[in-house]
């Protein structure tokens, strides 16, 4: 598919009013998206686990208005949020060619998260995908589309808001970006991963240690830009292709040892890219490193398959099979909560995608 396939045919519609609510999850990438080209096109393919409990719920209502520009009000947790407007205005500008009808409505958007905003857990992913789903729902009111096209269109729009958001529509795993070994994979939208998946991953756990809930020192968007001209960029992008090819059989056989090595190598490569860009920066905190060392020590001593990954922040995602949950939660309580801000962590697990409420 090409981007023009997402421009709807001219339609005739009576603009009415209505409302819809969608709940969309966050996601955690195993193979990371870091670096992009013009038009929100990823520099390399990525693969993520969809989460279950870290959600954004967005209610959008619409009322007819005279065409001419996009008009919207945005409320976050019940309060008007001026600081979110620039990102939303940019989003609406980008999606206008693909949803020209939005100019015929005034939109009221009410959003809330089940997790702390800017905790480093990807609120832009769940937020942008929930909004994209509401907008695609509105489009479906005025022009028919198949379920498959609905999901692709929502993912396509979400990508224009935030790249990783296009992987938050379905689950339990999503890929985004063209890859030789993933049939139908696209740079334009996220695709549900339909390759063989071992049962061990079907209820995989993700406990997110909130090391530093303060707003990030460097936004992901700015970080991606620093991959342009980065001395290690070309090698990193081909490594991501290789990692996806290597991951496929591990996901099929449930080889956790190799899975964990690959996942941790991805996380550390992501941060290595940050530490070697110009300007360089570090998003890990001392507590992030303490946790990583404790996890390695615990794994060495007990043989328990506990691994970590990181996003563009200091928080640590601990991934492990559901069968090991009790012992790992005991270890977290005994050894790791001390490194969390206000001893906070979120117990999440792999999830199955967004839901209309």
Residues that bind ligand DP6 (CB under 6 A): 29, 32-34, 46, 122, 124, 162-164, 220-221, 224, 270, 311-312
Nearest to 148 by CA among 1, 260, 278: 1
| Closest distance to ligand DP6 from the beta carbon of 64 (Å) | 31
78 or 86, CB closer to ligand DP6? Answer: 86
Q: Could you give the residue ranges of the DSSP H alpha helices within the chain?
A: 85-95, 123-142, 147-161, 220-225, 233-253, 256-275, 286-302, 325-331
**3-state DSSP percent of the chain in helix, strand and coil, to 5:** 45, 25, 35
CA–CA distances in Å: residue 134 to residues 15, 19, 57, 139: 16, 9, 10, 9
Nearest to 323 by CA among 336, 296, 305, 347: 305
120 or 321, CB closer to ligand DP6? Answer: 120
Close Cβ partners of 189 (under 8 Å, ≥ 6 residues apart): 1, 152, 153, 155, 156, 159, 166, 176
Token pair in block for residue 69: 């520009």
| Closest distance to ligand DP6 from the beta carbon of 67 (Å) | 29
CA-to-CA distance for 279 and 225, rounded, in angstroms? 11
122 or 263, CB closer to ligand DP6? Answer: 122
CA count, 13 A, side-chain hemisphere, 137: 23
46 or 207, CB closer to ligand DP6? Answer: 46
| Closest distance to ligand DP6 from the beta carbon of 48 (Å) | 6
190 or 331, CB closer to ligand DP6? Answer: 190
| Closest distance to ligand DP6 from the beta carbon of 11 (Å) | 29
Which run of H or E residues covers position 26?
strand 18-31
| Closest distance to ligand DP6 from the beta carbon of 220 (Å) | 3
CA-to-CA distance for 34 and 327, rounded, in angstroms? 34
Phi and psi angles of residue 312, each rounded to the nearest 5 degrees, phi first: -80, 70
| Closest distance to ligand DP6 from the beta carbon of 224 (Å) | 5
99 or 162, CB closer to ligand DP6? Answer: 162
60 or 312, CB closer to ligand DP6? Answer: 312
| Closest distance to ligand DP6 from the beta carbon of 104 (Å) | 28
């Amino acid at each position: 598919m090409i981007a023009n396939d997402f421009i709807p045919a001219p339609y005739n519609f009576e603009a009415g009013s209505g409302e819809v609510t969608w709940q969309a999850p966050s996601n955690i990438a195993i193979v990371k998206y870091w670096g992009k080209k013009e038009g929100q096109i990823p520099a390399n393919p990525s693969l993520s686990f969809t989460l279950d409990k870290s959600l954004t719920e967005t209610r959008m209502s619409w009322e007819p208005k005279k065409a001419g520009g996009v008009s919207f009000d945005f409320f976050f947790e019940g309060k008007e949020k001026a600081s979110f407007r620039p990102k939303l205005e940019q989003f609406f500008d980008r999606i206008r060619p693909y949803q020209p009808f939005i100019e015929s409505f005034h939109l009221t958007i009410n959003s809330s998260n089940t997790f702390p905003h800017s905790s480093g857990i990807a609120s832009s992913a769940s937020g942008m995908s929930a909004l994209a789903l509401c907008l695609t729902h509105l489009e479906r009111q005025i022009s028919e589309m198949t379920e498959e096209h609905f999901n692709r269109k929502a993912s396509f729009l979400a990508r224009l808001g935030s790249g990783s958001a296009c992987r938050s529509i379905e689950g339990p795993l999503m890929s985004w970006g063209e890859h030789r070994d993933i049939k139908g994979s696209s740079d334009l939208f996220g695709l549900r991963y339909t390759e063989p998946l071992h049962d061990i991953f079907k209820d995989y756990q993700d406990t997110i240690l909130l090391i530093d809930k303060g707003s990030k020192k460097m936004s992901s968007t700015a970080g991606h830009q620093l991959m342009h001209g980065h001395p290690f960029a070309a090698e990193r992008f081909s490594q991501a292709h290789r990692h996806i090819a290597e991951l496929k059989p591990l996901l099929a056989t449930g080889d956790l040892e190799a899975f964990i090595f690959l996942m941790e190598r991805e996380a550390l490569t992501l941060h290595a890219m940050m530490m070697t860009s110009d300007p360089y920066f570090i998003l890990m905190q001392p507590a992030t490193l303490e946790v990583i060392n404790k996890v390695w020590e615990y794994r060495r001593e007990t043989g328990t398959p506990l691994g970590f990954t990181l996003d563009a922040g200091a928080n640590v995602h601990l991934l492990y099979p559901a069968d090991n949950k009790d012992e790992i939660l005991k270890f977290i309580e005994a050894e790791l909560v001390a490194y969390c801000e206000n001893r906070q962590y979120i117990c999440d697990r792999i999830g199955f995608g967004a839901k209309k409420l």
